[in-house]
A and B are shown apart, each in its own frame.
Chain A
Amino acid sequence: MSALLELDELHVWFDLGEGRELHAVQGVSLELEPGRRLGLVGESGCGKTTTVLGLLGLLPSTASVSGRVLLNGVDILAGGEETIRPHRWNDLAIVFQGAMNALNPVQTVEAQIVEALELHGRSSGRAARARSGELLEAVGIPAGRGARYPHEFSGGMRQRAAIAMALACNPSVLVADEPTTALDVMVQAQILELLDSLCRDFGLALLLVTHDLPVVAQLCDRAAVMYAGEIVEQGPVEALFHDPRHPYTRLLFEATPDLLVDGAPVSIPGSPPRLDRPLAGCPFQPRCDRAYARCTEERPLLRTLAGDREAACHLNDVAAVAG
Chain B
Amino acid sequence: MSVAVRQPGPVIEAEPIRSRRGIVWQTIKNRPSAAIGAGILLVVIVCAVLAPWIAPYDPHEQVGPVFGHPSWKHPLGLDDGGIDMVSLLMWGCRISLVVGFAATFVSMVIGGTVGVAAGYFGGRTDNVLMRITDYFLVIPDVPLMIIVAAIWGPSLFHIVIVIGILLWTSTARVIRAQVKSVRERVYVKRARALGAGHWRVIFRHVLPQVAPLLIANTVLTIAVAIFDETALAFLGLGDPSRVSLGKVIENAFQRAAISTGAWWAIVPPGALVAVIILGCSLLGGAIEDALNPRLRVAHLSARSFKLRPLVGRGPEAV
**Least Cβ–Cβ distance between A231 and chain B, in angstroms:** 13
Residue of A nearest to B309 (CB): A66
Q: Which residues of A contact B305 (CB under 8 A)?
A: 54, 57, 59-61, 63-65, 80-81
Q: Pick from A143-151, A165-173, A264-272 the stretch touching chain B.
A: A264-272
Residue of B nearest to A229 (CB): B318
Contact with B along A48-78 (1 / 0, CB 8 A): 0000001001111101111110000000011
Q: Which of A151-209 contact B (CB under 8 A)?
A: none
Q: Which residues of A contact B300 (CB under 8 A)?
A: 58, 60
Whether B308 pairs with A11 at a CB distance below 8 angstroms is yes
Known: A27-B318, A60-B299, A61-B305. A9 touches B8 (CB 8 A): no
Complex CA–CA separation, A54 to B308 (angstroms): 13
- Chain A interface main SS type: loop
- Pick the contact of B5: A269, A271, A299, A301 (CB < 8 A): A269
Residue of B nearest to A63 (CB): B305
Interface residue? B1 (CB, 8 A): yes
Whether A81 pairs with B304 at a CB distance below 8 angstroms is yes
- Chain B interface main SS type: loop
Q: Which residues of A contact B307 (CB under 8 A)?
A: 64-66, 77-78, 80
Interface residue? B294 (CB, 8 A): no
Whether B313 pairs with A9 at a CB distance below 8 angstroms is yes
Q: Which residues of B contact A279 (CB under 8 A)?
A: 318
Contact with A along B304-318 (1 / 0, CB 8 A): 111111110111011
- Pick the contact of A266: B1, B310, B311 (CB < 8 A): B1
Whether B313 pairs with A271 at a CB distance below 8 angstroms is no
Interface residues on A, range: 35 or more
Interface residue? B6 (CB, 8 A): yes
Complex CA–CA separation, A26 to B315 (angstroms): 10
Interface residue? A287 (CB, 8 A): yes
Q: Which residues of B contact A289 (CB under 8 A)?
A: 3-6
Q: Which of B1-16 contact A (CB under 8 A)?
A: 1, 3-8, 10-11, 13
Whether B306 pairs with A65 at a CB distance below 8 angstroms is yes
Whether B3 pairs with A66 at a CB distance below 8 angstroms is no
Interface residue? B73 (CB, 8 A): no
- Pick the contact of B318: A60, A64, A266, A299 (CB < 8 A): A299
Known: A26-B318, A269-B8, A299-B318. A66 touches B301 (CB 8 A): no
Interface residue? B303 (CB, 8 A): yes
Number of interface residues of B (CB under 8 A): 29
Whether A66 pairs with B8 at a CB distance below 8 angstroms is no
Residue of B nearest to A78 (CB): B307
Interface residue? A291 (CB, 8 A): yes
**Least Cβ–Cβ distance between B307 and chain A, in angstroms:** 5
Contact with B along A259-280 (1 / 0, CB 8 A): 0000000100111111000010
**Least Cβ–Cβ distance between A320 and chain B, in angstroms:** 15
**Least Cβ–Cβ distance between B297 and chain A, in angstroms:** 7
Q: Which residues of A contact B5 (CB under 8 A)?
A: 269, 289
Known: A65-B307, A299-B318, A301-B315. A287 touches B8 (CB 8 A): yes
Q: Which residues of B contact A238 (CB under 8 A)?
A: none
Whether A270 pairs with B315 at a CB distance below 8 angstroms is no
Residue of A nearest to B30 (CB): A17
Known: A60-B299, A289-B3. A66 touches B11 (CB 8 A): no
Interface residue? A35 (CB, 8 A): no
Interface residue? B302 (CB, 8 A): yes
Complex CA–CA separation, A291 to B299 (angstroms): 37
Q: Which residues of A contact B302 (CB under 8 A)?
A: 60-61
Complex CA–CA separation, A291 to B305 (angstroms): 37
**Least Cβ–Cβ distance between A117 and chain B, in angstroms:** 22
Residue of A nearest to B299 (CB): A60
Q: Which residues of A contact B311 (CB under 8 A)?
A: 9, 11, 27, 66
Whether A270 pairs with B11 at a CB distance below 8 angstroms is yes
Q: Which residues of B contact A13 (CB under 8 A)?
A: 308
Whether A65 pairs with B304 at a CB distance below 8 angstroms is no
**Least Cβ–Cβ distance between A67 and chain B, in angstroms:** 7
Whether B303 pairs with A59 at a CB distance below 8 angstroms is yes
Q: Which residues of B contact A291 (CB under 8 A)?
A: 6
Complex CA–CA separation, A289 to B304 (angstroms): 42
Residue of A nearest to B302 (CB): A61
Whether B310 pairs with A68 at a CB distance below 8 angstroms is yes
Complex CA–CA separation, A289 to B315 (angstroms): 23
Interface residue? A243 (CB, 8 A): no
Interface residue? A298 (CB, 8 A): yes
Q: Which residues of B contact A23 (CB under 8 A)?
A: 318
Complex CA–CA separation, A147 to B299 (angstroms): 30
Q: Which residues of B contact A58 (CB under 8 A)?
A: 300, 303
Q: Which of A284-323 contact B (CB under 8 A)?
A: 286-287, 289, 291, 298-299, 301
- Pick the contact of B11: A78, A80, A271, A299 (CB < 8 A): A271
Complex CA–CA separation, A268 to B299 (angstroms): 30
Contact with A along B178-213 (1 / 0, CB 8 A): 000000000000000000000000000000000000
Whether A65 pairs with B308 at a CB distance below 8 angstroms is yes
Complex CA–CA separation, A13 to B308 (angstroms): 10
Q: Which residues of B contact A270 (CB under 8 A)?
A: 8, 10-11
Residue of B nearest to A267 (CB): B5
Complex CA–CA separation, A58 to B298 (angstroms): 12
10 A/B residue pairs, CB under 8 Å, sorted by A: A13-B308, A27-B317, A27-B318, A58-B303, A60-B300, A270-B10, A286-B8, A286-B11, A289-B5, A291-B6
Residues of B participating in the A interface, judged by any CB pair closer than 8 Å: 1, 3-8, 10-11, 13, 297, 299-311, 313-315, 317-318
Q: Which 7 A-B pairs have the closest CB atoms?
A: A66-B308, A64-B306, A59-B305, A270-B8, A61-B302, A63-B305, A61-B304
